[in-house]
Amino acid sequence: MRYHSLGRIPAKRHVQFRDPDSSANGNAPLLVEEVMGFEGFSGNESILYHLFSPCRVKEVGAFTPIVLEEWVPETHVHRLTHTMEMAPSGDAVLGRRVLQYNGDVEIGICVPEREADYFYRDGEGDEVIFVHEGSGVVETIFGSLEYRKHDYVVLPRGTTYRFRFDEPQRWLTFYTPGEIETPNRYRNRYGQLLEHAPFSQRDFHPPAELVTHRSRDEHHVKVRVRGGYQDYVLDYHPLDVVGWDGYVYPYTFNIHDFEPKAGRLHQPPPAHQTFQGPNFVICSFCPRMLDWDPMAIALPYHHSNVQSEEVMYYVDGDYAARKGVEIGSFTLHPSGLPHGPQPGTVEKTLGIKETSELAVMCDTFRPLKLTTLARDLDDPSYAYSWYEDPVAG
């Protein structure tokens, strides 16, 4: 991402910098500089200036392991998962329910019934939250980040934050121990997005306001590390940053700011790519004009995921290639099996000029495992949806 700054920072790094708003007599106290960076000291970084040491802990609480109960199906088939009937449960962190996962990414749903009464930090991975329904503010150490319906909220590891809701929420969630980035092919050697990219820097929104908290009340912070959640108690407010600058910070990107590409003939899924992670991509399928060749077939051609798994989450509109797939559903087309339009759908769409589909896709390049929640929400009839009875037909 591009360079950004909020609040007050000194003219040079690693120099004395005192609290400009301190009411103390004499010299104001020195602020505590924190360098938050990727790849040791070789990747992107930001520098934050705290009122208190970010190492300061009053009490170390319990460590709770994260347990994903794997479901190993007896059959290897295409799967349909319905999630709209999931009842609200948990908060903005513990309410996240994983459906598919591997060593590169966890994909799930969150329908929180309440805000968290603690602050949270993912210590070992980046997070992407797609807001299917809802709006609000993410309070972070980098400042306040407003979000709205159909935003991607990207939260880099190390970001201490807390969601504040304006209305009921429904999220599609991604966690990765890797790094979330825009695709390499969209960026020049300086990191700027190129003219042919489906978005520009203007479409990515960092925190707009930095609120520095000076209270000395106790606050609970939950940190995801080593396959679990570690609880801490602080004797100061964790959002105590006076200023920061750099290239690492949370941001939002709304799916409706993605500029879909069209062609004379069908465009393949990479045309819809929005983010990349290690061994997976996230794509945005948006309303768009369709192929204009008079002989074009507008629907995706049959293809075999020989080296990838395709997860599609349906957000809104009408996805013409699939029958019986509802908003809020997932389809999983695993590696080793061809998939494509269901019988009759190609003929019905010949000559159409546009599509209203809105969906988020994740392609992984290593096999996905399923959780018992995916089992409970599974629609086994989907595997037969390409079958036509030759006698009845």
User: pLDDT tens-digit profile of 156-183?
Assistant: 999 999 999 999 999 999 999 999 999 9
Is 83 a member of any domain?
A: no
DSSP conformational letter for 382: G
Instruction: Evaluate whether 292 touches 286 at the Cβ level (below 8 Å).
Output: no
Alpha carbons 59 and 233: distance in angstroms, whole number:
5
CATH code at 341?
Answer: 2.60.120.10
- Rounded to whole angstroms, how far apart are CA atoms 31 and 29? 6
pLDDT tens-digit map of 269-318: 899 999 999 999 999 999 998 888 888 888 888 888 788 999 999 999 87
DSSP letter string over 322-374? -SSPPTTEEEEE-TTSEE-PPTTHHHHHTT--EE--EEEEEEESSPPEEEHHH
pLDDT tens per residue, range 202-230: 999 999 999 999 999 999 999 999 999 99
Q: Read off the pLDDT of residues 30-49 as tens digits, 9 standing for 90 and up.
A: 999 999 999 988 999 999 99
Q: Which of 220, 237, 266, 272 is flagged as catalytic?
A: 266
- Phi, psi at residue 363, to the nearest 5°? -100, 125
Q: Assess whether 365 and 329 both reside in one domain.
A: yes
Cα distances (angstroms) measured from residue 353 to each of 254, 289, 349, 350 = 24, 6, 9, 9
Q: What angle do CA 148, 149, 153 make, to 5 degrees?
A: 65
| 226 and 286 belong to one structural domain | no
For residues 251 and 270, membership in a common domain is answered with: no
Distance CA 270, CA 276 (A): 11
| 266 carries an active-site annotation | yes
Q: What is the pLDDT of residue 298?
A: 82
Residues 222 and 346 in one domain: no
Q: Is residue 174 part of a domain?
A: yes
Domain extent for 273? 259-384
**Domain co-membership, 135 together with 33:** no
113 has binding-site annotation:
no
Same domain assignment for residues 209 and 285: no
Q: Between β-strands 119-122 and 219-225, what pairing exists: parallel, antiparallel or unpaired?
A: parallel
Same structural domain, 132 and 38: no
The reply to whether 80 falls in a domain is: no
Position 251 in a domain: yes
Is residue 24 very low, low, confident or very high in pLDDT (cuts 50, 70, 90)? low
Do residue 37 and residue 121 come from a single domain? Answer: no
Which of 241-255, 320-334, 355-369 is the least confident region?
A: 320-334
Residue 139 annotated as binding?
Answer: no
Specify whether 337 is located in the same domain as 370.
yes
Is residue 332 included in any domain, yes or no?
A: yes
- The pLDDT value recorded for residue 246 is 97
Q: Within 13 Å, how many C-alpha atoms sit on residue 115's CB side?
A: 16
| CA–CA gap between residue 242 and residue 118 (Å, rounded) | 21
Residue 281 lies in a domain: yes
Together in a domain, 16 and 110: no
Same domain, 129 and 169: yes
Q: 360, 391, 382, 364: which is closest to 173 by C-alpha?
A: 360
pTM > 0.75: yes or no = yes
Both tokens of 280, joined, read 């997976």
Number of domains in the chain: 3
Other CB atoms within 10 A of residue 62 CB: 8
pLDDT at 321: 59
Q: What pLDDT does 303 receive?
A: 86
- Whether residues 167 and 306 share a domain: the answer is no
Last residue of a domain, one of 255, 282, 304: 255
Annotated ligand binding at 303? The verdict is: yes
Q: What is the dihedral of CA 323, 326, 330, 335, to 10 degrees?
A: 0
Residue 76 belongs to some domain of the structure: no
Domain-embedded: residue 193: yes
Beta-strand runs (E) in 209-328: 219-225, 228-234, 241-246, 251-254, 273-277, 280-285, 288-289, 303-304, 309-316
Write down which residue in 226, 255, 284 finishes a domain. Answer: 255
